[in-house]
């Protein structure tokens, strides 16, 4: 069993860390941004004062924080992970961040004789709890092989996409697809309900046809019931679409539907919904239509 440092025990990170514990691994947590989760400590995790101390104790150091600046901070702050690394330790960034920044971070970690994997995930809080996340990995094959058993404790569909940065590129692509599917389901349900049909029955009918999808199944139900407690916050999906649109500008390509979905998310944010679940994109469409599919 491995000694694993885990930094970032929020909605996603905490159940991921718990699954590593259940697989028999030892956990080391940092308290530099607050107390370690009591349930993880009660199950045997060791709380340390800084990311540096975590890196000194662990063979593998997993990072699961919201955005690029937070990853950079925990890696390279004065008492950060990089300060505690020694050769052959492995840093696994499971956050969803900039592919360009990831390549720079990996180069700095690799220069210290350690190895770096970018391994962002998809599957939301449900997948994190169930240990069924899809994990998109960027890095070399040897390091991937060393880390695979750990990743298998957290996910089921685990793919080595390519070199450092390619995992993050795959995650950005994933977030484009998810956003556009959420928007498609939301538009369809608004159209159906405004036309007088029962949106729940329309969803039921569509689940048996070619329009069926996990988004229609899970988020379509959320939209109909109005249950928008976050599994994945709108603000985080906005961050991911910003990465997509910034990357598109760098590449000289146009992503018109991605830009449109971002505008609808921005409408939700303007309504005070930055912390709503991303399935609440439908509320932006409802606001523009002055109509709710949940009106009786």
Alpha-carbon gap, residue 63 to 74, rounded angstroms? 8
Alpha-carbon gap, residue 208 to 204, rounded angstroms? 7
Asked if 224 and 286 touch (Cβ cutoff 8 Å), the reply is no
Alpha-carbon gap, residue 176 to 255, rounded angstroms? 9
Catalytic one of 171, 194, 239, 296: 171
Q: Is residue 112 classed exposed, middle or buried when 0-12, 13-18 and 19+ CB atoms within 10 A define those classes?
A: middle
DSSP 136-147: EEES-HHHHHHH
Q: Is residue 171 annotated as a catalytic residue, yes or no?
A: yes
* Nearest CA-CA partner of 222 in 124, 93, 84: 124
- Which run of H or E residues covers position 122? strand 121-122
* Nearest CA-CA partner of 228 in 274, 260, 264: 274
Alpha-carbon gap, residue 136 to 161, rounded angstroms? 6
Question: Using CA of residue 160, residue 163, residue 167, residue 173, what is the dihedral sign?
Answer: negative
The β-bridge relationship of strands 90-93 and 115-118 is: parallel
Positions marked catalytic: 171
């Amino acid at each position: 069993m491995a000694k694993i440092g885990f930094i970032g025990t929020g909605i996603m990170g905490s159940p991921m860390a718990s699954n590593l514990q259940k697989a028999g691994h030892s956990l080391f947590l940092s308290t530099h941004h607050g107390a370690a989760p009591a349930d993880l400590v009660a199950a045997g995790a060791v709380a340390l004062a800084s990311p540096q101390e975590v890196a000194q104790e662990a063979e593998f150091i997993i990072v699961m924080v919201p955005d690029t600046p937070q990853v950079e901070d925990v890696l390279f702050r004065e008492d950060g992970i990089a300060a505690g690394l020694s050769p052959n330790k492995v840093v696994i960034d499971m956050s969803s961040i900039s592919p360009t920044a990831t390549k720079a971070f990996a180069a700095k970690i690799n220069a210290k004789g350690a190895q770096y994997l970018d391994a962002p995930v998809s599957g939301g809080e449900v997948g994190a709890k169930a240990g069924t996340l899809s994990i998109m990995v960027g890095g070399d094959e040897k390091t991937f092989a060393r880390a695979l058993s750990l990743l298998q404790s957290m996910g089921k569909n685990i793919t080595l996409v390519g070199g450092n940065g390619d995992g993050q590129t795959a995650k950005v692509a994933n977030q484009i697809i998810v956003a556009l599917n959420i928007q498609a389901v939301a538009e369809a349900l608004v159209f159906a309900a405004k036309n007088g049909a029962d949106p729940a029955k329309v969803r039921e009918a569509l689940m048996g046809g070619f329009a069926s999808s996990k988004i229609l199944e899970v988020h379509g139900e959320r939209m109909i019931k109005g249950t928008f407690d976050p599994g994945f916050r709108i603000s985080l999906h906005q961050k991911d679409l910003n990465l997509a649109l910034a990357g598109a500008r760098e590449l000289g390509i146009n992503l018109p539907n991605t830009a449109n979905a971002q505008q609808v998310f921005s409408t939700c944010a303007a309504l005070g919904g930055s912390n709503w679940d991303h399935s609440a994109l439908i509320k932006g469409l409802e606001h523009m239509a002055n109509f709710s599919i949940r009106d009786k």
